[in-house]
Chains A and B, each alone.
Chain A
Amino acid sequence: MATQQTRSLARFMMAPSVVLLLVWMVVPLALTLWFSFQQYNPLNPIRDGFVGFSNYALFYSNPAFLQSILNTLTLVVSVLLITVIGGILLALLIDQPMWGQGIVRILVISPFFVMPPVAALVWKNMIMHPQYGVFADIARFFGAQPIDWFGQHPMMAIIIIVAWQWLPFATLILLTALQSLDGEQKEAAEMDGAGFVSRFIYLTLPHMSRAITVVILIQTIFLLSVYAEILVTTNGGPGYASTNLPFLVYQKALLEFKIGQASAGGIIAVILANIVAFFAMRAVGKNLDK
């Protein structure tokens, strides 16, 4: 039981780090907010100055904007679906006693250790490339026309790459949850005559629900900011077909040097991320209270 003094002392000692964290977050956010109301293009410094909300209006009226929101959400939802469902299946599979289990587990988890730009390069040049890729070789072997992944189905290609990278994370978290399930419960259910499917639905899945929540929340945060995979493979194209919000902000800031519009985009992205996080917390976060 902490006394009044120890609590005050704790507050006093924690204060520097709290202040530091606050400054760490508040300064960049404040600067972004400030720049979002300025006409600031370092390449054309004559026209600087306060412009009100026009950066927001310009960012919003950009034909790529709505497409980028749609792409951001498509990416998050698709990758979550693939990784959660795939993660549950993989976790169930590698939880089974089998020969070489250790090696199989390491192989399943290994994509997580590959850096995103490297993974994207490998997928682009060695797997999905319409001339030299493994997929093209397979298609040609069966006499089919190779698929031009990044030209024809850019979003799908990026979803596959990102899902491949996040599947191990989901699998790992879900596997630990699965292993914490009491063996006696399973046996009891089995003795009561429950089949594999009912055991899964009524026992395993509810047991895993907290882990699933963790996976969804953590992945949502990271998937909202996917950037390297897009830069390396499609550069947001063709057209705006694979431009997401972070990529659009990058494009405005470092390709067009429209710092004002990029800052406005950054603020919009922060607001949207908070909305998504709010709904995600409400929808699945209540699992965490149990």
Chain B
Amino acid sequence: MKLRTLTLGLLSASALAFAAHAESITIATVNNGDMVRMQKLTEDFTKANPDIQLNWVTLEENVLRERVTTDIATKGGQYDVMTIGTYEVPIWAKQSWLLPLDKLGADYDAKDIIPAIAGGLSVDGKLYAAPFYGESSFVMYRKDLMDKAGLKMPDAPTWDFIRQAADKMTDRANGVNGVCLRGKAGWGENMAFLTAMSNSFGARWFDENWKPQFDQPEWKKTLQFYVDMMKADGPEGASSNGFNENLALFQQGKCGMWIDATVAASFVSDPKNSTVADKVGYALAPDNGLGKRGNWLWAWSLAIPAGTQKADAAEKFVSWATSKHYAELVASKEGWANVPPGTRSSLYANAEYQKAAPFAKMTLDSINAADPTHPTVKPVPYVGVQFVAIPEFQGLGTTVGQLFSAALAGQSSVDDALKQAQDAATAAMTEGGYIK
């Protein structure tokens, strides 16, 4: 009896000692395939860092955004590592909500991060989030339908060419739509596409004095072009289509062209899920010869909130998850094609990756063609290609997205949508104190 008590006492004491020694960090992340894979591979990290335990909170994109935003803004302190995007980083860093990542380790090689991505995640030259995977947008098209239409897709098409190709490829009787584009309202849905597209038409959200620009001819041209093309060559119900809906349409062979995120390339070229896997070609996002292309820039990134008590452990984890070592780990377990794309230059110099991912070069070219600090033809006071990095943008972007979605659905005219967008933007900017 005595021995048993003693053993139990010793055991619980050692368990307590271990618990006190081991530090557990909570990581909030998005339920995208690459992140789910990361969770499966964490043994590699915990083996090297036995004193750090990882707790995962994996959520759908919109819910994640709600939770982490609420947590950081109310100083809730639930998470030690947060998965956020290029939109949040500059705003939150300016509010001093994030810790600068300057202790990522000697072999981290921060200079290897693609400059456009690093630029989007830095404030005053300091990196505030480490990119896990990055993306731009480009044109994915059906080579067989282009041949049938007697056209050849250039590497860098113009919007006029896209329109012409869409008209020729549309074959409603056989369920083929010339072009599939986002129409579902949301700052991260239709407005990501439309804002990037408007850059190539010479439009901008605000002038240098934060005056909204929806009453300018460039926006009218953008929206009219988009609505006309989608009405003539787009799928039924386009105003409810976001990334996932268009992905399904393209995989089923219902789209001639699809302009969307570069990460979609690995899905449309995967013969297990795509009926058109062997027929897909890639081209840069279209332009109008004004010097800006209609492609965006995004990176899902890991950041550490300023309020965490476990900054060292959190930084160790961020360093592991975004390192070259992690890329090699994924490659060794699941093949090079599954390595998180779009963050490190070295990946694109890797011959094995180039062989496994035929879209690699076009992805890198697209990322390099986007400049978040100079996104538009005319000068602007904001950072961000397909968004405006100010706190008011989430709400305003979604409101404008609703108005443009209504124009696409034919519920309002292009002119009405633009006028209402101008009013909404003026109200939001006045309320936010940007214009007096």
Chain A contacts to B: CB under 8 angstroms: 41-45, 47, 58, 63, 124, 129-131, 136, 146, 148-152, 233-241, 251-252, 254-258
Give the chain A neighbours of B417 by CB distance below 8 A: 239
Give the chain B neighbours of A150 by CB distance below 8 A: 237, 239-240
**Given A41-B391, A237-B185, A256-B394, CB of A130 within 8 Å of CB of B406:** no
- How distant is the Cα of A136 from the Cα of B175 in the complex, in angstroms? 13
- The residue in chain B whose Cβ has the minimal distance to the Cβ of A243 is B402
**Given A239-B402, A239-B411, CB of A44 within 8 Å of CB of B391:** yes
Smallest CB separation, A114 vs chain B (Å): 21
- How distant is the Cα of A198 from the Cα of B353 in the complex, in angstroms? 81
Smallest CB separation, B212 vs chain A (Å): 15
Give the chain B neighbours of A124 by CB distance below 8 A: 240
Cross-chain pairs A/B with CB under 8 angstroms, 5 sampled: A42-B69, A44-B391, A151-B239, A237-B406, A256-B394
Check B403 for interface membership: any CB of A closer than 8 A. Answer: yes
Smallest CB separation, B173 vs chain A (Å): 11
Give the chain B neighbours of A252 by CB distance below 8 A: 395
Check B90 for interface membership: any CB of A closer than 8 A. Answer: no
Q: Are A256 and B398 in contact (CB under 8 A)?
A: yes
**Given A130-B237, A254-B66, A256-B394, CB of A47 within 8 Å of CB of B433:** yes
- The residue in chain B whose Cβ has the minimal distance to the Cβ of A41 is B391
**Given A63-B420, A63-B423, A257-B69, CB of A238 within 8 Å of CB of B408:** yes
Give the chain A neighbours of B394 by CB distance below 8 A: 43, 255-257
Q: Are A255 and B405 in contact (CB under 8 A)?
A: no
Smallest CB separation, B192 vs chain A (Å): 15
Q: Are A43 and B409 in contact (CB under 8 A)?
A: no
Q: Are A251 and B398 in contact (CB under 8 A)?
A: yes
Give the chain B neighbours of A234 by CB distance below 8 A: 240
Give the chain B neighbours of A233 by CB distance below 8 A: 240
Give the chain A neighbours of B431 by CB distance below 8 A: 58
Interface residues of B in 82-109 (CB under 8 A from A): 91, 95
- How distant is the Cα of A254 from the Cα of B186 in the complex, in angstroms? 13
Q: Which of A233, A238, A257 has the most CB of B within 10 A?
A: A238
- How distant is the Cα of A124 from the Cα of B245 in the complex, in angstroms? 12
Q: Are A151 and B423 in contact (CB under 8 A)?
A: no
Q: Are A130 and B402 in contact (CB under 8 A)?
A: no
Q: Which of A124, A130, A237, A257 has the most CB of B within 10 A?
A: A237
**Given A44-B432, A255-B395, CB of A239 within 8 Å of CB of B254:** no
Q: Are B237 and A148 in contact (CB under 8 A)?
A: yes
**Given A238-B411, A257-B395, CB of A146 within 8 Å of CB of B236:** yes
- The residue in chain B whose Cβ has the minimal distance to the Cβ of A241 is B411
Q: Are A43 and B91 in contact (CB under 8 A)?
A: yes
